[in-house]
Amino acid sequence: MGSKLVGCGSAVPKLTISNDDLSQIVETSDEWISVRTGIGNRRGLTGNETLSGLAVEAAKGALQKAQVEPDDVDLEIMCTSTPDDLFGCGARVQRDLGCKNAWAFDATAACSGFVVGLVTATRFIKGGGFQNVLVIGADALSRYVDWTDRGTCILFGDAAGAVLVQACSSEEDGLLGFDFHSDGHGQKHLNATVKDGETELISNNGAPLFPPKRSSFSCIQMNGKEVFRFAVRCVPQSIEAALLEAGLTSSSIDWLLLHQANQRIIDAVATRLQMPPNKVISNLANYGNTSAASIPLALDEAVRSGKVQAGNTIAAAGFGAGVTWGCAILRW
Ligand code: ACO
């Protein structure tokens, strides 16, 4: 049994935040941000907008393109690190999509989340019993950004993207190879950890009677240089490993589609793989780093613009907090 991608969709919040807007609140400039990151604008959730709402919109687009009815979805994997609810929001998205025959769960792997979800979907299909699996990558890192930290607040944006993965014959299989890694030693370079809480009920001898309330996370803390080095070192190796499994080389890839974190990372990885700029997908300038959403968002734009066409081979690679990284070689 194989699996193929048969539709994609995406959604972004209404509010656009430009580099000039950011230079009003931190000491930075459009020039610095553009040159160091390639980012020009990013979107942010405001008012009544929710991450689940974005995910539903993106998933509806994918279902429509795939011409699949919500009733025919068997499984929905909601890849996010920033759910609307501590307990996840996959089921809420499933409810709002009307996928009443599907079950849903959340998967957390930060900016690698979408690629992890995609490969997980293909494994469920391969195991049997699943025909249509929705994979959604959605994140709202704006919720955990310290708007006084110019080293991080310039990078992130909110968005959602989705694909429908469908069962097919092994000859048509659209997942040609994959490779995944994680290394908790890198967690110190990029994190948003549970805040320390104060114990309120203490016994007479000073020992806590109950655990403290720790119901919030710190803002994103990042050592940008280390994250940059990690990405440029590990991502090309992972792509090469996935290509090897697929029996391909970088010269046979039509598109390099990396997690959109920094244009300099994208350029460095493309150079290592000897991939020319016209084979590299990038929409970072408009949306910044949208974490688990960045790959399906860029894929959806590239499909809609006619860049990515049926039969094209794509190396899709995610990397980020954890740290985690990995690559899937796909045939569109
Ligand atoms: N505007 C102006 N100056 C700035 C800004 C800013 N926004 N941010 C930092 N600077 C200053 C620094 O203070 C420093 O000044 P100094 O030389 O006087 O000390 C100088 O610019 C250089 O700072 P660096 O941190 O060395 O700049 P660098 O070239 O490394 O760029 C950046 C920083 C853009 C963050 C880069 O390191 C990067 O993109 N790293 C990867 C980050 C990333 O992709 N993270 C997400 C991973 S995915 C996930 O899971 C969420």
pLDDT digits (tens, 9 = 90+) for 235-262: 999 999 999 999 999 999 999 999 999 9
Ligand 1 in reach of 98 Cβ (< 6 A): no
Contact status, residue 101 vs residue 311, Cβ threshold 8 Å: no
By most ligand atoms within 8 Å of CB, the mutation choice from 228, 263, 290, 319 for ligand 1 is 228
Ligand 1 in reach of 227 Cβ (< 6 A): yes
Helix or strand (DSSP H, E) at 290: none
Report pLDDT for 193: 92
Q: What is the mean pLDDT of the chain?
A: 95
Beta-strand pair 41-44/75-79:
unpaired
Report pLDDT for 202: 74
Contact status, residue 306 vs residue 313, Cβ threshold 8 Å: no
* Residue from 41, 43, 40, 42 nearest 31 by CA: 40
Residue nearest to atom 50 of ligand 1 (CA): 320
Which has more confidence, 211 or 5?
5
Q: What's the gap in Å between 314 CA and the centre of ligand 1? A: 29
Residue matched to tokens 């940059």: 228
Averaged pLDDT, 186-198: 88
SS3 call for 181: strand
Q: How far apart are CA 69 and CA 97, in angstroms?
A: 10
Provide the angle, in degrees to the nearest 10, between the axes of the packed helices 263-272 and 224-246.
40
Residue 53 pLDDT class (50, 70, 90 cuts): very high
Report pLDDT for 297: 98
Give pLDDT tens digits for 67-94: 999 999 999 999 999 999 999 999 999 9
Report pLDDT for 294: 98
Averaged pLDDT, 178-199: 91
Q: How far apart are CA 34 and CA 78, in angstroms?
A: 31
Contact status, residue 65 vs residue 9, Cβ threshold 8 Å: yes
Ligand 1: atom nearest CA of 111 is: 50
SS3 call for 251: helix
Residue matched to tokens 């960045």: 294
Ligand 1 in reach of 32 Cβ (< 6 A): yes
Q: What's the gap in Å between 155 CA and the centre of ligand 1? A: 9
Averaged pLDDT, 99-104: 97
By most ligand atoms within 8 Å of CB, the mutation choice from 25, 79, 225 for ligand 1 is 225
Report pLDDT for 208: 77
How many CA atoms are closer than 13 Å to the CA of 262, on its beta-carbon side?
23
Report pLDDT for 205: 81
DSSP output for 46-84: -TT--HHHHHHHHHHHHHHHHT--GGG--EEEEE-SS-S
> Residue 66: pLDDT above 90?
yes
Cα separation values, 197 from 201, 212, 311, Å? 12, 5, 53
DSSP output for 186-220: GGGGEE-PBPP-----B-TTS-BSSPPP---BPPP
Ligand 1 in reach of 36 Cβ (< 6 A): yes
Contact status, residue 100 vs residue 70, Cβ threshold 8 Å: yes
The burial class, CB within 10 Å (0-12 / 13-18 / 19+), for 227 is buried
> Residue 25: pLDDT above 90?
yes
Q: What's the gap in Å between 253 CA and the centre of ligand 1? A: 31
Q: What's the gap in Å between 7 CA and the centre of ligand 1? A: 36
Sign of CA dihedral 9, 318, 104, 310: positive
Ligand 1: atom nearest CA of 36 is: 34
Residue nearest to atom 31 of ligand 1 (CA): 36
Report pLDDT for 63: 98
Report pLDDT for 308: 96
Report pLDDT for 221: 95
- Which residues are known catalytic residues? 111, 259, 289
Q: What's the gap in Å between 280 CA and the centre of ligand 1? A: 23
